[in-house]
């Protein structure tokens, strides 16, 4: 394709005289395969039209230098048009994929023509806008395909979790049954060492059972099949029951849980599922203990409150003095499988300092609270293992009607 025909194709609204004038400002250059004509981030001022050959457009998508292929451009197509009107860095890299001949026009030459030819300026603007529209459509289509691929991947992952959890549950249930039989056998009861071994096996089995149940819970939440058995519940009582679970762990690590309960002649109740709420409170306390150093204090606050979104509500606050959560971690803290910190330092302990888990607890907690019509929030000044700025979780649950409050047990 000759240069005049190429310019006519690129600027169909431009008069022949202007095309010829533009042609006098252009130059023909040939490049071998693998030549970078435009480098992303570089300040360049050349407009290219492909006479013969092919180039690929590449976009940098991560700081490690990984490039993603966008598309090919062939004979008659052009690139670098934004350099005509914007003095900014290249937004993508363009590289030849085979020997390529291009028509080049530098920005200064074009700007001189634009100052004397309003017709040409209008044609350039139209061409640039058309190209932007095409690029927008391509990017939207690319995003749609990527989103659909992520949805398929997430769906496959959840399906696998659900199947794996069901497959694991049966053998674990059998092991639990045999453990109960063995631990109740008279011979085992007489042998302290054997009983300790069986109890250790039982603790490991229960840990596996908890993980399997968490896998099923997160699958139900994502599938919106979580069953909530709504009954009148006093959240303070459910929380108090959960506290007893951690008495031994707190004693071992010299951690104090201070309770601050609002005094009131009536105690508001909510309509909720005590079993599911127990899972939430368990997770919040477990996290507070795991990420708090030995000898620290955890504050638990329960009180009535007025929330802008929920109105009359009941608040449960768990505030620790632990290592905290970094601002870069905060947006992902409730996502399933998210692990804060270095995964290589992962520990499976439920209460040891910096002990980890499968990364499902907070995702499940959020799903459960939202299924109750409430919300869960987190706040932390940042992460620092030396100063321990702490983390505060706030659970807000809507209460029943005022006349449905219960008389406080302390009021006789």
Q: Are 48 and 107 in contact (CB under 8 A)?
A: no
**pLDDT given at position 62:** 64
- Asked whether the predicted pLDDT for residue 403 surpasses 70, the reply is no
Average pLDDT, the chain: 83
**pLDDT given at position 191:** 85
Mean pLDDT is highest, among 49-53, 68-72, 211-215, for: 49-53
**pLDDT given at position 217:** 83
d(CA 76, CA 49): 7
> Closest by alpha carbon to 97, among 72, 121, 120?
72
The pTM of the whole model exceeds 0.75: no
E strand or H helix that includes residue 290: helix 274-290
The more confidently predicted of residues 104 and 233 is 104
- Asked whether the predicted pLDDT for residue 297 surpasses 50, the reply is yes
Mean pLDDT is highest, among 178-192, 325-339, 357-371, 378-392, for: 378-392
- Asked whether the predicted pLDDT for residue 401 surpasses 60, the reply is no
- For helices 235-245 and 274-290, what crossing angle results, to 10°? 50
- Asked whether the predicted pLDDT for residue 163 surpasses 90, the reply is no
The more confidently predicted of residues 374 and 10 is 374
- Asked whether the predicted pLDDT for residue 344 surpasses 60, the reply is no
Reported confidence tier of residue 243, pLDDT bands at 50, 70, 90: confident
pLDDT tens digits, one per residue of 254-269 = 999 998 887 766 667 7
Name the phi and psi angles at 127, rounded to 5: -65, -45
The more confidently predicted of residues 1 and 375 is 375
Q: Are 218 and 336 in contact (CB under 8 A)?
A: yes
Reported confidence tier of residue 408, pLDDT bands at 50, 70, 90: very low
What is the rounded average pLDDT of the residues 184-196? Answer: 85
Rg (CA), the chain: 33
**pLDDT given at position 406:** 43
Q: Where are the beta strands (DSSP E) in 209-267?
A: 231-233, 256-261, 266-267
The two tokens of residue 143 are 């995003």
- Asked whether the predicted pLDDT for residue 375 surpasses 90, the reply is yes
Which of left, alpha, beta for 188 (phi over 0: left; psi -120 to 50: alpha)? alpha
Ranking 320-334, 335-349, 365-379 by mean pLDDT, the lowest is 335-349
Reported confidence tier of residue 218, pLDDT bands at 50, 70, 90: confident
**pLDDT given at position 266:** 67
d(CA 291, CA 289): 6
């Amino acid at each position: 394709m000759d240069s005049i025909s190429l310019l006519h194709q690129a600027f169909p609204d431009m008069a022949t005289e202007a095309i010829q004038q533009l042609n006098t400002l252009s130059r023909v250059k040939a490049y071998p395969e693998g030549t970078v004509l435009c480098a992303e981030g570089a300040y360049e001022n050349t407009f290219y039209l492909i006479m013969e050959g092919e180039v690929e457009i590449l976009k940098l998508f991560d700081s490690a230098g990984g490039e993603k292929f966008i598309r090919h451009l062939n004979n008659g197509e052009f690139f670098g048009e934004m350099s005509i009107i914007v003095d900014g860095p290249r937004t993508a890299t363009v590289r030849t994929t085979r020997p390529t001949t291009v028509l080049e026009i530098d920005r200064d030459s074009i700007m001189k023509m634009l100052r004397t030819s309003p017709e040409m300026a209008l044609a350039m603007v139209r061409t640039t806008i058309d190209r932007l529209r095409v690029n927008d459509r391509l990017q939207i289509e690319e995003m749609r395909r990527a989103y659909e691929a992520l949805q398929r991947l997430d769906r496959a992952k959840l399906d696998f979790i659900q199947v794996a959890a069901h497959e694991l549950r049966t053998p674990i249930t059998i092991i639990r049954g045999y453990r109960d039989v063995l631990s109740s056998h008279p011979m085992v009861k007489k042998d302290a060492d054997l009983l300790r071994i069986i109890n250790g096996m039982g603790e490991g089995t229960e840990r596996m059972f908890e993980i399997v149940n968490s896998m099923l819970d997160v699958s139900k939440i994502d599938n919106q099949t979580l069953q909530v058995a709504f009954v009148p519940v006093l959240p303070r009582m459910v929380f108090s029951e959960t506290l007893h679970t951690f008495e031994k762990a707190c004693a071992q690590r010299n951690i104090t849980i201070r309770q601050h309960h609002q005094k009131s002649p009536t105690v508001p109740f909510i309509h909720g599922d005590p079993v599911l709420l127990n899972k939430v409170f368990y997770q919040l306390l477990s996290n507070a203990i795991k990420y708090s150093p030995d000898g620290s204090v955890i504050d638990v606050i329960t009180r009535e409150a007025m929330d802008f979104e929920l109105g009359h509500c009941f608040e449960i606050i768990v505030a620790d003095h632990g290592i905290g959560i970094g601002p870069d971690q905060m947006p992902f803290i409730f996502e399933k499988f998210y692990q804060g910190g270095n995964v290589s330092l992962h520990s499976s302990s439920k209460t040891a300092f910096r002990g980890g888990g499968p990364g499902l607890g907070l995702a499940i907690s959020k799903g459960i609270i939202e299924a109750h019509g409430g919300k869960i929030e987190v706040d932390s000044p940042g992460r620092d293992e030396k100063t321990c700025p702490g983390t505060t979780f706030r659970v807000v649950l809507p209460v029943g009607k005022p006349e449905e409050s219960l008389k406080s047990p302390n009021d006789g």
